[in-house]
Structure 1
Amino acid sequence: MRTSMEDFAHRYGPVAVVTGASSGIGRSFATQLATRKIDLVLVARRLDRLLALAEELSGEHGVQITVQQADLADPTAAARIVDAISALDVGLLISNAGFGVKGAFELGDARTLTDMMTVNCHTPTQLAHGLVPHLKRRGRGGILFTSSVEGFLGCPFSAGYSASKAYVNALGEALWGELTPAGVDVLTLCPGATDTEAPRLQGIDPASLHDLMSPDDVAASALEHLRHGPIHVPSEHYRGQFEQLLGLPRDQALTAMAKAVSSARKPLPG
C-alpha cells in the first residue's frame, strides 16, 4: 500500500540526513524527500554542489536545508556529523555515500582500498550507531543503507567493493531485526546498474550495462519500500540475475560473474 505524504512525513520527518547528496542516487533522494516536505541535512565533499542543491530545493519546496561538507573517507567524519545534528529531530538516515573500484585486486591502490572501506563500511556504521538511540526514543523513523547487488556474492574484479557491500547488507539485516520491534524501519537498497557518475569513474561505459536504471527511479522505489525491509532490489533484471547466480554451485556462480564483469569493462569512447 502506497504511503501518503502525510504519513511519510509523520514517520520519517521532520528531518532526514542524506549522505552522498551532491549527485546520483543521493541527489535523487534529497529531491524526492523535499517534495514530501521533509527538511534535510545534505552531506557530501563537494560544497558547491551541495549549496546549489540546497538553494534549489528550499526555493522550490520551502523546506529547510542544512549543508554539511564532509569527506567520509575521514574516520572522524561520522562523529562530527552526529554531533552537528544532535539538536535536530532526525527521523530518517539515508546512508547513501559510497564508491567502488574495478580491476584485479592486487593492482588496486592500497590507500584507495582503505578509503573505500571507510566510506562504505565504517561511516555508515558510525552514523547509524550515533542516531539509533534517538530513533528508538522517538519510537518511529528509519535507516536506509545504499548497498549493491554485488553484496550478494564475492564479485571477481570487484573484490573490495563487493566485500564492503556484503558488510552493508549484513549490517542492514541485523539492524532490521533489532530495530523493527522499536518502530524503526531499516532498508538496505541493492541497486543494479544505475545511470550515475560511478560507472564512468570505474572505467565502464554505461552503454555496455544491461537494464540501466535512472537514479530517480532507484530512489523512488527505495522510499516506497522503506517499510518493507530488510533488502530491496529495485531492478527486476538484476533481482532475477542474482537469484539465478545464487542458485548455482558457488564455483560456477563465481566463474560466470568473472566473465560478466570482464565483458562489461569496455573502453570508454574518446
Structure 2
Amino acid sequence: MKPEEFRQTYGPTALVTGASSGIGLAFAEELAARGFDLVLTARRTDHLDALAQRLLSSCGVRTRVIGADLSDPAAPGRLLAATAGDDIGLVVSNAGFNVKGAYETTDAAAMGRMLTVNCHAPMQLAHGFLPRLKARGKGGIVFTASIEGLIGCPYSAAYSATKALVISLGEALWGEMQGTGVDVLTLCPGATESEATAKMEGIAHLQPAADVVRLALENMREGPACFPHAHYLEMFERLRAMPRRDALAGMAQSMKALA
C-alpha cells in the first residue's frame, strides 16, 4: 500500500496505548513519520509530553497526550470517552507487561494487574472502537500479543496465557470484520529491544522495535496475525509440531536451567 493510501485508509489519527517505550514508542514514531496525528496514552505522561514535542518538531504532526493506567479496569472507558470527538482510524492496543518466573512464587497482585492490562484493556478498547471504525467504513486495530501466546510457556505461565487470549481475540475479530472495511491484525513479536529486555541478561536474537512496527504496518491487510521475527516463529513452529508433552517438558527444562 502506498503511503498516501495507507494514511487515507487508517488516518487521519492513530491511538497508541503504551506509547512511552518499546514497541509502542516505535509505533508512535513510525506513524508520525507517515503523517498521522496521534493520541498517545501511558502512565508516564512526562515521557509522552517529551515525545509529543519531538514528533511535532521532526514530523509536524499534532499529538494529544492522555494519561492512562490500564491496570485500572475503568481506564478503557475513560479513554473511550476522552477520544469520542477524535477521528481515529487506527487503534494500536499495545500496552502490556510480563511477569516471569516460577508460577507459585509470582506475586499474585502483579498477575492480577497483568491480566487487566494485557486482556481486559484490549477487549474493552476493541468493544468501544469497533463501532466507530465500522461507521467510518475503513480503519484498523492492531493488538500487540506475543509469540509466547502460541503455547503455554513454563516459567512464563501467566504471561503466555494472557497473550493467548489476545491472539484468540484478534483472530476472532478479524473474522467478524470481514467485509466491513476494518482490518484487524494481531502482532506476535519475539524478543524485542525495549526497556524491559535491556534489564535482562542472556536474551538472544533481539529484534529492533522499529523493525517489528514496520513489518506490522506493512501487513495490516494480511491478517489475522503477523510474526515479525523469523527466528522465533521457526522455534515455536517446531515446538507446536512436537507432541505437546515433549515440547512443554523440554521448554521447562531449558527455562529452569536459565533461572
* Range class of TM-score, shorter chain: over 0.9
For residues 221-240 of structure 1, the C-alpha deviation after alignment (integer angstroms, 9 at most, x for no partner) is 11111111101110110111
Aligned residue pairs total 259
Query: What is the percentage of aligned positions where both structures have the same residue?
Result: 53
2:204 counterpart of 1:210: yes
Contact 2:14–2:36 (CA under 8 A) maintained in structure 1: yes
Among 94, 102, 106, the residue aligned to 1:108:
106
What's 1:68 paired with?
66
Contact 1:180–1:186 (CA under 8 A) maintained in structure 2: no
Contact 2:90–2:139 (CA under 8 A) maintained in structure 1: yes
For residues 130-177 of structure 1, the C-alpha deviation after alignment (integer angstroms, 9 at most, x for no partner) is 100010011110000000010000000111100000000000000000
Q: Alpha-carbon deviation of 1:262?
A: 3.2
Q: Alpha-carbon deviation of 1:18?
A: 0.2
- Give the letter aligned to residue 32 of structure 1: E
2:228 counterpart of 1:234: yes
- Distance in 2 (alpha carbons) for counterparts of 1:243 and 1:164: 20
For residues 175-204 of structure 1, the C-alpha deviation after alignment (integer angstroms, 9 at most, x for no partner) is 000013211110100000111122356xx3
Contact 1:18–1:95 (CA under 8 A) maintained in structure 2: yes
- Distance in 2 (alpha carbons) for counterparts of 1:101 and 1:138: 38
2:29 counterpart of 1:31: yes
Contact 1:99–1:116 (CA under 8 A) maintained in structure 2: yes
Contact 2:18–2:24 (CA under 8 A) maintained in structure 1: yes
After TM superposition, the structure 1 = structure 2 runs for residues 53-202 of structure 1, keeping only pairs within 5 Å, are: 53-200=51-198
For residues 40-66 of structure 1, the C-alpha deviation after alignment (integer angstroms, 9 at most, x for no partner) is 000000011000000000111111101
- Distance in 1 (alpha carbons) for counterparts of 2:240 and 2:56: 44
- Distance in 1 (alpha carbons) for counterparts of 2:243 and 2:146: 21
Among 231, 247, 252, the residue aligned to 1:258:
252
Instruction: Give the TM-score, by structure 2 length.
Output: 0.98
- Distance in 1 (alpha carbons) for counterparts of 2:258 and 2:65: 36
- Give the letter aligned to residue 259 of structure 1: Q
- Secondary structure (helix, strand or coil) at the match of 2:64 reads strand
Q: Alpha-carbon deviation of 1:260?
A: 3.3
- Distance in 1 (alpha carbons) for counterparts of 2:195 and 2:164: 22
- Distance in 2 (alpha carbons) for counterparts of 1:218 and 1:75: 28
Contact 2:197–2:203 (CA under 8 A) maintained in structure 1: no
What's 1:248 paired with?
242
- Distance in 2 (alpha carbons) for counterparts of 1:68 and 1:226: 25
Runs of 5+ in structure 1 lacking a partner?
266-270
Q: Alpha-carbon deviation of 1:263?
A: 4.3
Instruction: Give the TM-score, by structure 1 length.
Output: 0.94
